[in-house]
Structure 1
Amino acid sequence: MRTIRIFADSTCDLPAAWVQEYGIGIVPLYVTFDDEMYKDGLDLTTPELYNKVAKSGRLPKTAAPSPADFIQAFTPAVQEGQQIIYISLSSELSSTYQNALIAAAEFEEDQVTVFDSRNLSTGIGLLVMKAVKAAAEGRSVAEIIDLLETTRPLVETEFVIDSLDYLYKGGRCSGMQNLVGSLLKIRPVIKVIDGKMTPVSKIRGSREKVLDQLLNNALAQVDDMDNDLIFITHSLAEDDAIHLQQILKSKTKAREVAISDAGCVISSHCGAKTIGILYTKSIQ
C-alpha cells in the first residue's frame, strides 16, 4: 500500500511545529499590497501584515493558489509514490478548492484527492489532524475521506472579532456601523455555517465579557465534544488564548487544548485581537 500524505493550505493555521512533525504539506495563499505579492506565512508574518495596514490605511487583497502552484506542491510527493489528500479552505470563501481540483486532474487517477473542508482556520486544522492520525493508522484514502465526510458537519468554529475596523476597511460594514460599534464596544460573534462566515450575535461590553461569552458558548457543548482536540486560535491575543486554554483544560476532557496563531489571510479579514474556540462534536 502506498503511503498517504495530507496537504492543506496556509489558512488551516496549524502550529508550524505540527506541520513539520507530521509532514503536512502546506500550499500558501497570497496576500497582495498594491503590486507587492506575498505568500501567506512564508514571505509575510501577521505582525508585518498589521504594520503594513497601519502605514497604508488599506487592507491587502487575498488570492488563492493557482492550479500551477498546486501542481508544483503535489508533484514531489507523487513522484515519491505517495497518495495525496488535500483538505481545502471552504469553497464558499475562496477559489482555492476549485483550483486544487484543476491541478488534481493533471495527475493520474487516485494520486491526488481533493476534499472541501467547508471551514476555515483551525476548523480545517481539526480535519487535517483527523486525516493525519487515520493515515498513520494505515487507513486507505477512501476510508479517510469517509471519516472526513462524517466529521465535517461536526466541526464547530466560533470566534469574536475585537474591532469593526477591518470589517469596515474590507467593505463588510458601513462607516456608521463602524463608528457606532466602536463607541458602544460592540463585537460581532462569527460562526462558520454551511461553509460561510455567518454573524450570529453581537456582544456589547468589556473584553472580559466577550471572552466569558465565547467560553460559555463552548462549555455549553461540553457533553457533546469530541475529547480529542480543542483549538484556541487568535490573532495577536496570546494572553487571552492562554487564559482560555487554562479554563478549557480544567473544564473539558480534551486530550489536548492547543493554541495556534491566525495567519495573514485570516487576520487580514478579521483584524488584531480576534480569537476563537474550535472543536469537533462527537460522532454519535
Structure 2
Amino acid sequence: MSRTVVVTDSTASLPPAEAEERGIVVVPLQVVIGATSYDEGADGATPEMVAEALRDYRPVSTSRPSPAVMREVYERAAADGATEIVSVHLSGDMSGTFESAQLAARDTSVPVHAVDSRQVGIATGLAVLAASDVVLGGGSAAEAAAAARDRAEGTTSLFYVDTLDYLRRGGRIGAASALLGGALAVKPLLTIEDGRVATLEKVRTSGRALARLAELAVEAAGDGPVEIGVAHLANPDRADHLADQLGTRLVDNLDGRAVRCGEVGAVLGAHVGPGMLAVCVARLG
C-alpha cells in the first residue's frame, strides 16, 4: 500500500502540534547569532532571541539545511514506511533550501516531489497544508504536489516592515531601495512577486501603512472563499488587531474558518526585523 509523507521546512511557520497531528515532517533551518549556530525552533533559535539580537546590533545570519540533511530526512521517512514524499519549501530565489531538496531527491530510495512554493512564511505553510489535505484525503503524491503549487500560486502575501535595513543586510532588496526608504522616512508595504520581495506601495506613517495593509488584503480576497494568515515579529498587539479586523470584514469569505495569527520564526525574523506585520490571503476557489 502506498503512503505519502509531506515534508517542509521550519520557515513555513506551522504550529508544531498541527504538523505532528498531520504527520508533516519539519526540517529546521539554522540561525547564527554571533558565533553560535542554532536550529530554528522552540529548543533552538526563537523569534524572541532574534529580535533581541537585532535590537542589540549583534550579527544574525541564517543558513539552509544541506542536501545531506534533507536526504537523511527523506530516508528516515522511507524507513518508517513512506513510499513517496512531497517536499514543499520557501521560495528558491530567497533560500537554497529548495535546491537542497532537489539535490537530495536524486539520491533518495523513494520518489520525492520537490515543490518550490515561490512564497515564504505562512503562505508556504498554507501550501503545505493543501498538500497534506490531499494526502489525508487519499490522493496521490503527484496530486498533493499540484495542490501545493496551486495554493501557493493563488496566495497573495503582503507585509509591512519598520525599516528596510534588515532586508538589505540579508540581500533580499537592493541597497539603493533601502537607502531611499530610510531617507524619505517612508513605511514600505511589500509583497512577494515571482518568488522575490517587491515594493508594493510607500506610505508616510505606520498607522496608514497598517490600514492600507488591511485594505489590500480585503481587495485580494475578492468575493470568493479564502484562508487568511497574519504573522508578526515582536508586534503581537497590532497583529491581533489586524486579525480581528480581517475576521470581521471577511467573515463571508472565511465561512467559519479562523484567521491564523502567530509570530514568524527566527529565520524569517532575522530578515524582516522587529515590528514586521504580514498578511497572507489564500484563495480557495
Gaps of 5+ in 2: none
- Spell out the pairing of 1:1-284 with structure 2 (5 A cutoff): 1-41=1-41, 42-55=43-56, 57-82=57-82, 83-110=84-111, 112-167=112-167, 169-170=169-170, 172-173=174-175, 177=180, 179-181=182-184, 184=185, 186-205=186-205, 207-227=206-226, 229-252=227-250, 253-254=253-254, 255-283=257-285
Q: Is the 8 A contact 2:117 2:152 kept in 1?
A: yes
Q: CA RMSD in A?
A: 2.0
Distance change (3 Å), C-alpha of 1:224 and 1:59:
farther
Q: Is the 8 A contact 1:234 1:275 kept in 2?
A: yes
C-alpha deviation, 1:178, in angstroms: 6.0
CA distance in 2: counterparts of 1:109 and 1:77, whole angstroms:
9
Other structure's SS at 2:163 match: coil
C-alpha deviation, 1:276, in angstroms: 0.8
Other structure's SS at 1:259 match: strand
C-alpha deviation, 1:168, in angstroms: 5.2
Q: Is the 8 A contact 1:235 1:272 kept in 2?
A: yes
CA distance in 2: counterparts of 1:3 and 1:234, whole angstroms:
35
Paired residue type of 1:242: D
* Matched-pair identity in %: 27
Q: Is the 8 A contact 1:67 1:102 kept in 2?
A: yes
1:174-197 Cα deviation digits (max 9, x unpaired):
68546524xx3x211111111111
Paired residue type of 1:232: V
CA distance in 2: counterparts of 1:170 and 1:104, whole angstroms:
28
C-alpha deviation, 1:173, in angstroms: 3.5
TM-score (norm 1): 0.90
Distance change (3 Å), C-alpha of 1:59 and 1:224:
farther
Distance change (3 Å), C-alpha of 1:170 and 1:58:
farther
CA distance in 1: counterparts of 2:121 and 2:207, whole angstroms:
23
1:8-47 Cα deviation digits (max 9, x unpaired):
1111112233222222211111112343211112411111
TM-score (norm 2): 0.89
Q: Is the 8 A contact 2:64 2:96 kept in 1?
A: yes
Distance change (3 Å), C-alpha of 1:153 and 1:14:
same
Mean alpha-carbon deviation: is it higher for 84-93 or for 162-171?
Answer: 162-171
Distance change (3 Å), C-alpha of 1:167 and 1:145:
closer
